[in-house]
A and B are shown apart, each in its own frame.
Chain A
């Protein structure tokens, strides 16, 4: 069983990075939907731009795993 403080650290690592990614995606997603409404061809470009910040949460995920030392 991991120490409680370790568990909290892991939770914070993934939790905060998830929030960060969400904030970033919110902004991009809004703009992307606006752009797609103007021009449907931008769908894929919009999608790619929107999912770019996902990497942030993956960093958090990897760090959480390393903290847990599982």
Chain B
């Protein structure tokens, strides 16, 4: 529990003929954490391994498969059947992928063509629809010898009778048609060619917007009929598009399990096929280096020998440092590993602080928030959310929060607080320690917890240091800080000579152990311990916040009438805010006390996560 899983370093070597057997054996086992091989600069016969041919073939298929998956919008996994690694029908699968791919490319092309036609029709409709309001036959829009014509919009504010008058002052040889489309005035004007320039000047003075008819010469007959043809074709194409889309959907439905299953299989096979890139190979042999949990080694060794008919060389050494770290904690404590990983994974050989975090994190949290009502309510809330979520990390956070809620409820009983009040539905709670009446006791408690926590850290540090650098270093760098505190306490109690002497000796030891830097940091131990006074400060703030909410609501209630509603809203909103703040701030402060004050006393971190080849989570 306090130590990560014991690992041993493993070297496996053998002829290339059995390489793939060994690889698929390790994949199936899922316990070997492979150390990536890097080729040294000086000459060596060992090169980085070559992936299997199948892997590169599969990569191509996988890319196609993923593009199909994207186009068909396949997301659902139907549970996923497991296909054996050596599928004999790989070629069939490849062929089928190509076939689906071709079908999809075909459909996509068709849909694109339909979309293009649709936008073209839309553009035509935009031209024909306004003109159709004029009630003209389309053949009037043609080349004339002596006539010129203009079609377009006039702004709504242009007065047509005034406009006609101005027009008649230019010429009488003119015919004008007008209609209205989408609350704009549509005008078609036919005029003799001599007067065309003058008329068009008049038009542009009135902000005329011409409609270009050039592209529509193909049409014939009444514009109403033309419009109808366009609309019919538009509807027809929309139906076609729908049909193509549903065809794609049907394809997606039909092949969803094929796609999902094979994608999973392919990525797994590629992982297996490409793993030689992570180890060393010569022309005829391969060498894999990695780490295996010590407990699993013997069994793995004999199984591998049997699988390869003894044609393999296996050697193991005890891990000292640099081994990947797999934390090993009971189920209840496991969620707290999340908080450790957030900081850094322990290095191999040092104490895994998850258990200590499990003890003190909820304790500090509860001490700060300390309210029976908040604790019970949030515990239920987190429990319900936890049953709904699937992501492992969020589950861990929620478990941690549930421990925090539990301790909040426990301290709620100690402090006698229920949603900030001192009674539960009329029943008066007798606090063991009243936070608002005895703040100094609360402060002393907080500092006391600080002394205990910091020294716990120093003791773990002592153990780690003794293990890594021997007893002398442990005494000089860790025990010295503890004796410094003893000296300080004696000094404060009035035993000047002894206290000062112990402090002086401790200071010398620290200087010897950590150098001058240690001497300058002597006061930091006071800062570290005083830092725990936040337990009291944040706690008082949360208690007072709840109290204020209750008092405000109480004032509203005593007003009666509408005050009852206002009071209820204040109660609900106020306590929601108080709970939100009450979780955010103690969480961060509790985390900080661990990461800064506690971990700094012993923690190295920087461990590599144990990620065995072939492990499926």
Say yes or no: B534 contacts A58, CB within 8 Å: yes
0/1 interface trace, chain B 439-459, chain A, CB 8 Å (1 if under): 110010000000000000000
Q: In this assembly, does A2 line the interface, its C-beta being within 8 Å of a C-beta of chain B? A: no
**Which of A44, A59, A65 touches B343 (beta carbons < 8 Å)?**
A44
Residue of A nearest to B593 (CB): A51
- Taking CB atoms, residues of chain B closer than 8 Å to A65 are 439-440, 443
Residues of chain B within 8 A (CB-CB) of A48 are: 592, 595-596
Name the interface size band of chain A. Answer: 10 to 19
Contacts of A59 in B (CB 8 A): 527, 530
Set of chain B residues within 8 Å of A58, measured between Cβ atoms: 530-531, 533-534, 537
Compute how far the CA of A20 lies from the CA of B201 in the bound complex, rounded to whole angstroms: 74
**A44 and B595 contact, Cβ closer than 8 Å, known pairs A58-B533, A70-B440:** yes
Q: By the criterion CB–CB under 8 Å, are B530 and A62 in contact?
A: yes
By beta carbon, the residue of chain A nearest B343 is A44
Residues of B within 8 A of A47 (CB): 588, 591-592
**Interface residue SS majority, chain B:** helix
Q: Does A52 contact B (CB under 8 A)?
A: yes
CA of A65 to CA of B446, assembled, Å: 14
Task: Tell me, yes or no, whether B215 is within 8 Å of chain A by CB.
Answer: no
Beta-carbon contact of B439 and A70 below 8 Å: yes
B342 at interface by CB-CB < 8 Å: yes
> A63 vs B595: C-alpha distance in the bound complex, in angstroms?
25
CA distance A61 to B539 in the complex (A): 14
Within 8 A of B (CB), among A35-70: 43-44, 47-48, 51-52, 54-55, 58-59, 61-62, 65, 70
Give the residues from 526 to 557 in chain B that come closer than 8 angstroms, CB to CB, to chain A: 527, 530-531, 533-534, 537
Interchain CA distance A48-B531 in the complex, whole Å:
14
Number of chain B residues close to chain A: CB under 8 A? 17
**Contacts A47-B588, A70-B439 known; A61 to B533 CB distance under 8 Å?**
yes
The distance in angstroms between the C-alpha atoms of A58 and B541, with both chains bound, is 13
**In the complex, A59→B537 CA distance in Å?**
11
Q: Which of A43, A44, A70 has the most CB of B within 10 A?
A: A44
Assembled-state Cα–Cα distance A62/B527 (Å): 11
Nearest residue (CB) in A for B344 is: A44
Query: In the bound complex, what is the Cα–Cα distance between A58 and B527 (angstroms)?
Result: 9
Contact among A54, A61, A62, A70 with B592 in the assembled complex (CB-CB below 8 Å): A54
- CA A55 – CA B592 in complex, angstroms? 11
Question: Distance in Å from the Cβ of B381 to the closest Cβ of chain A?
Answer: 25
Determine if A44 and B596 form an interchain contact, defined as CB atoms under 8 angstroms apart: no
Let me know if B530 and A55 touch, CB within 8 A: yes
Q: Nearest CB to that of B439 among chain A residues?
A: A70
Determine the distance from Cα of A48 to Cα of B534 in the docked complex, in whole angstroms: 15
A70 to B589, CA, bound (A): 25
Given A65-B440, A65-B443, A70-B440, A44:B530 Cβ within 8 A: no
Could you tell me the distance between the alpha carbons of A65 and B438 in the complex, rounded to whole angstroms?
A: 13
B531 cross-chain contacts in A, Cβ below 8 A? 54-55, 58
- A32 CB to closest chain B CB (Å) equals 13
Closest B residue to A44 by CB, please name it. Answer: B342
Question: What's the nearest-Cβ distance from chain B to residue A20, in Å?
Answer: 14
List residues of chain A with CB within 8 A of the CB of B440.
Answer: 65, 70
Instruction: Find chain A residues with CB under 8 A from B530 CB.
Output: 55, 58-59, 62
Q: Report whether B527 and A55 are in contact in the complex, using a CB–CB cutoff of 8 Å.
A: yes
B518 → chain A closest CB, angstroms: 19
A60 vs B533: C-alpha distance when bound (angstroms): 11
Considering the complex, give the chain A residue whose CB is closest to the CB of B534.
A58
Chain A contacts for B588, CB-based, 8 A: 47, 51
* Given A48-B596, A52-B596: A62 touches B439 (CB 8 Å cut-off): no
State in angstroms the CA–CA spacing of A59 and B588 once bound together: 19
**B439 proximity list for chain A (CB < 8 A):** 65, 70
Closest approach, in angstroms, between the C-beta of A21 and any C-beta of chain B?
A: 12
Closest to B536 in A: A61
The smallest C-beta distance from B396 to any residue of chain A, in angstroms, reads 15
A59 to B443 CA separation, bound complex (whole angstroms): 13
Considering only residues 574-617 of chain B, those with a C-beta below 8 Å from chain A are 588-589, 591-592, 595-596
Please name all residues of chain A whose beta carbon is closer than 8 Å to the beta carbon of B443 when the two chains form the complex: 62, 65
The chain B residue sitting closest to A65, CB to CB, is B443
Q: Do A51 and B537 contact each other (CB < 8 Å), given the known contacts A59-B530, A70-B440? A: no
Chain B residue with the shortest CB-CB distance to A52: B596
> A27 CA to B591 CA in the complex, in Å?
21
Query: In the bound complex, how far is the Cα of B343 from the Cα of A43, in angstroms?
Result: 9
Partner of A61, one of B537, B595, B596: B537
Complex Cα distance A52/B534, Å?
Answer: 13
On chain B, the residues within 8 Å of A61 by CB distance are 533, 537
How many angstroms from the CA of A25 to the CA of B439 in the assembled complex? Answer: 27
A51-B592 contact given A59-B530, A61-B537, CB 8 Å threshold: yes
A residues less than 8 Å from B343 (CB atoms): 44
How far, in whole Å, are A52 and B343 apart by their CA atoms in the complex? Answer: 15
Least Cβ distance of B592 to chain A in Å? 5
Query: Taking the nearest CB of chain A, how far is it from the CB of B492, in angstroms?
Result: 14
Q: How far is the CB of A27 from chain B (nearest CB, A)?
A: 18
A29 CA / B21 CA spacing, docked (Å): 54
Q: How far does the alpha carbon of A19 sit from the alpha carbon of B343 in the complex, in Å? A: 29
Residue positions of B touching A, CB distance < 8 A: 342-343, 439-440, 443, 527, 530-531, 533-534, 537, 588-589, 591-592, 595-596
User: What are 19 pairs between A and B in contact, CB < 8 Å?
Assistant: A43-B342, A44-B595, A47-B592, A48-B592, A48-B595, A51-B592, A51-B596, A52-B596, A54-B534, A55-B527, A58-B530, A58-B531, A58-B537, A59-B527, A59-B530, A61-B537, A62-B443, A62-B533, A65-B440
Top 8 nearest A-B pairs (CB, nearest first) are A51-B592, A44-B342, A48-B595, A55-B531, A58-B533, A55-B527, A44-B343, A61-B537
| Residues in chain A within 8 A of chain B (CB atoms) | 43-44, 47-48, 51-52, 54-55, 58-59, 61-62, 65, 70
Give me 11 other A-B pairs in contact (C-beta within 8 A), A48-B596, A54-B534, A61-B537 excluded: A44-B342, A44-B343, A47-B592, A51-B589, A52-B596, A61-B533, A62-B530, A62-B533, A65-B439, A70-B439, A70-B440
